[in-house]
Chains A and B, each alone.
Chain A
């Protein structure tokens, strides 16, 4: 009979988990062939250490100043700062995914209580927790130096506050894990996250407009914050400093209540995980009852003029776009950006020195910016194909058909986006003169078609696989970025010179004529390039398949 190992103690298991995390970090460093990545990581580590140490001094000085000057109730502000960092930072980096899934520990012989304690210990090893603990320690030292009698109570409150934070952080983490385990919710989460980051740009204009009106409401809501844990911790310390034991007991009891509440919730979450909660994305089995297959392709979709292969690629690209929540929602960006910029810089709503940029300049400028954003994905157009890329090489087609399908889809999206943006611009700041409008539209055709040729070449030469709804490791190839940057600067430079040449030559229609000629040349060049790209695809197919099938 086989020997069976004896069970390991909790402390030994915690040590093993800590060792595992350290080994994962070391191995991830060893895998990075790119030295720049390693240098970047070291620099980030140094900067983080400097930041944490710098803030240690700040928290020390703040605590010292508040306690020594008799304003110890202001300690709540420091607790709030730490609380927000401890809870928000892990949510922000959740998009980058965990290196090691904590739940995998469940296959080892652990009791539920051991699993719970290891879970908490695991939470303390996070960067946000380590940094916050350093700051709490600095605060304690600062308060202790200012008034030594406060130190024992301070240490007690800090310990309970830290326990509260680590419990809440693990609880939010486990909720997020559950939320992000579903592909659809994960994608929506990231899309909303990106959109919320973008919408931060609107904070300043909104504050300028509504800030004064919102101030009384904020002041009215402030007292309610006194019942939150950071305020309770601050009040407990203030009570000790002012020799009010009742206040200290009340503050501490409130804090303990939160610890208890979140511990119960966390215990329930861990218990669900411990008892085999299923987070798998695979659909649950259903009865094999016969349901009619959706006949979604019955209706004509206007692609009948295209060859079957090109039409198939266009349909597939459209479905991929609508199912990539992130890409789909980011299509909202161009009109939003037009709204943002038009409210800050241009036309009827000038905010810079009361003058604003003229419509004649603003219109081509904003269009150039939109092209810059919308064309970027074309430089790695196979990013989301995954293993499906092989179909393009096993199917009986010429690769130019794949490019035609992809480019057609992109151009359609661009057309809709630019039309929406022009509509928004017309509403906000009005249209430019006819010659400038035509020149800009011809310039758009020239730059888009011209870039498509280069972007197709870049997609074949510098492919990089990207995953839907993931942010971790989602980097474009450095060369693809460089090519995109170079060609955008080139196209933008040519366009700017031609636009200005209208002024220099005194002929306002000259830019429109020049761009029309260039657009025609770019179209000719594009179609001429397709055969060459087909040959290149055949040469590059192994690189392409290897890069995308990982």
Chain B
């Protein structure tokens, strides 16, 4: 039986009266490239924050790699990597110093940390600015650094929130192949992105959250099969729109902007 990397039971989070995540039951098998989708404000970030220890659930439970997060937080955190919302960078360190800091925070020895950080800086094409502080990096460079920091300790589960946003095409290509190789070697990748083409190309399994509830969950084939359609081969975007757009929300009428056309 395949190992379960992420499992949640009735995971719920309230902010006052707002029910941001409503009792979701999620299961991700180890080694899966898992896409977590939803429209703006659906509850994606809240779910990731709970799964990475940044937010406490109001109720429900979650296990990562078989360990309960509530009772073994340090052991669980040791095995996961995350790019938090806003990237979580210390802006007054250089890229190298930041990776060194993160490596040591994850308990790596100094030699290993240094070797890995050098390799990651080279891979992310950040090595040519050794003295530049993170505050002076461009957005794309900061994103690459945050990604490097998320993998420096060799995590078994990697949480990525919009990983390719602002990343140049060269680095994005290299990053995709890196992530692909990581999944081949058993790393589970939990990814959110609004670029559905990327999710469709990379992810084997997808879950869609809408208004805090999990409205679809399964492999891409299973999701396609779940939608009645004569033409058959639907894209992920079409699947997404057909699932999320079922709540009667009307699209704005283009006729109202006639002066622009």
Contacts and interface: CB of A to CB of B under 8 A. Distances in A.
Contact of B106 (A298, A316, A323, A395): A395
Given A309-B105, A397-B105, A542 B84 contact: no
B97 A323 contact: no
B102 A395 contact: yes
A281 interface: yes
Contacts of A290: 122, 127-128
B131 interface: yes
B105 A391 contact: yes
Interface string A285-296: 011111111111
B89 interface: yes
A477 to B, nearest CB: 21
Given A293-B96, A396-B106, A390 B136 contact: no
B91 A386 contact: yes
B88 interface: yes
A211 interface: no
Interface residues of B, number: 55
A468 interface: yes
B127 A315 contact: no
A391 B105 CA distance: 9
B53 A394 contact: yes
Nearest to A539: B56
Interface in A388-412: 388-391, 393-398
B78 A396 contact: yes
Given A293-B130, A295-B114, A319-B97, A542 B91 contact: no
B107 A316 contact: no
Given A390-B84, A394-B88, A316 B101 contact: yes
A451 interface: no
Contact of A297 (B106, B110, B122): B110
B88 A387 contact: yes
Contacts of A549: 85-86
Interface secondary structure of A, over-half rule: loop
Interface string B106-118: 1111100110011
B92 A320 contact: yes
Interface in B53-93: 53-56, 74-75, 77-78, 80, 82, 84-93
A394 B104 CA distance: 13
Contacts of B187: none
A308 interface: yes
Nearest to B88: A390
A2 interface: yes
Interface residues on A, range: 35 or more
A283 B78 contact: no
B136 A394 contact: no
Contact of B92 (A3, A291, A294, A323): A323
Nearest to A398: B74
Nearest to B127: A293
B114 A396 contact: no
A268 interface: no
A549 to B, nearest CB: 6
B4 interface: no
Q: Which of B85, B87, B107 has its CB near the most chain A CB atoms (within 10 A)?
A: B107
A306 to B, nearest CB: 10
A292 B132 CA distance: 14
Given A283-B136, A319-B97, A394 B129 contact: no
A387 B89 contact: yes
B77 A394 contact: yes
B105 A289 contact: no
A319 B88 contact: no
B101 A312 contact: yes
B90 A309 contact: no
A545 interface: yes
A530 to B, nearest CB: 15
Contacts of A397: 74, 105
A311 interface: yes
Contacts of A323: 92, 133
A2 B260 contact: yes
A396 B81 CA distance: 10
Given A388-B88, A388-B90, A541-B54, A294 B96 contact: yes
Contact of B52 (A295, A298, A394): A394
A138 interface: no
A281 B132 CA distance: 12
B128 A289 contact: yes
A513 interface: no
B146 to A, nearest CB: 10
29 contacts: A2-B259, A281-B136, A282-B138, A283-B132, A286-B128, A287-B128, A291-B127, A293-B127, A294-B94, A294-B130, A297-B113, A308-B108, A308-B109, A311-B104, A316-B93, A319-B97, A384-B92, A386-B89, A386-B91, A388-B90, A388-B91, A390-B54, A390-B84, A390-B88, A391-B90, A393-B54, A394-B80, A394-B82, A394-B84
Nearest 4 CB-CB pairs, A to B?
A312-B104, A396-B78, A388-B90, A390-B88
Interface of A: 2-3, 183, 281-283, 286-298, 308-309, 311-312, 315-316, 319-320, 323-324, 384-391, 393-398, 468, 538, 541-542, 545, 549
Given A283-B137, A290-B128, A390-B84, 14 more contacts: A2-B260, A2-B261, A282-B138, A291-B130, A293-B121, A293-B130, A309-B107, A312-B105, A320-B92, A394-B77, A395-B77, A396-B105, A397-B74, A398-B74
